[in-house]
Amino acid sequence: MNEMERFRGLPSVEPREMIGLWTGRGIPSGHPLDGVLENLGWFGKRFSAQMRADALLFRGGEKRLFAIDPAWIPLRLALRFHKIGRTRAASNLFSYLLRRLRAKGPVASLKAVPFQGVTSAAMVYDAQPIVDHFRKIDDNRLMGAMVIEGDERVYFFELERVEEV
């Protein structure tokens, strides 16, 4: 079973069920971004009761999380030169730039959106043509499918609920 079949077989999740902090990890599926976020120190996502989201949380030291603003990410370049994103040099540069990329507040909205024939929670980015669609694995785990407008490839990831850091 491929990842899209697995995703389609999972039940929908309501946006309100997602409020809180989630740690993430990519699910290897042949997408150009496989391994890139982990290499850069991705922690996960945070969803607020106002249905807003910190879309990209990164570790900034032992107990600090930084929400970055994806508006700064040159998406088409990142997809084109994805191999660089898995290098030590990229990791070092990103850790240096982390504070400069910091978001001034939430950068996405959480809402119910139809995808693959099912309406479920989705995170719609404010400044990028990206929607993360979610399905429920169990009460504390979600599967995500990141869709970039104009690109038929889907990046899959898993989120697991955690206590605040």
What tens digit of pLDDT does each residue of 129-161 get? 999 999 999 999 999 999 999 999 999 999 999
* Parts of the chain with a pLDDT under 70: 61-62, 77, 81, 164-165
Question: What pLDDT does 109 receive?
Answer: 97
DSSP letters spanning 1-44: --HHHHHHTSPP--GGGG-EEEEEEE--SS-TTTTHHHHTTEEE
Domains of the chain: 3-162 (2.40.128.580)
Looking at residue 165, its pLDDT comes to 56
Residue 81, SS3 per DSSP: coil
- Using CA atoms, how far residue 29 sits from 48, 96, 120, in Å, is 29, 29, 22
Mean pLDDT of the chain: 89
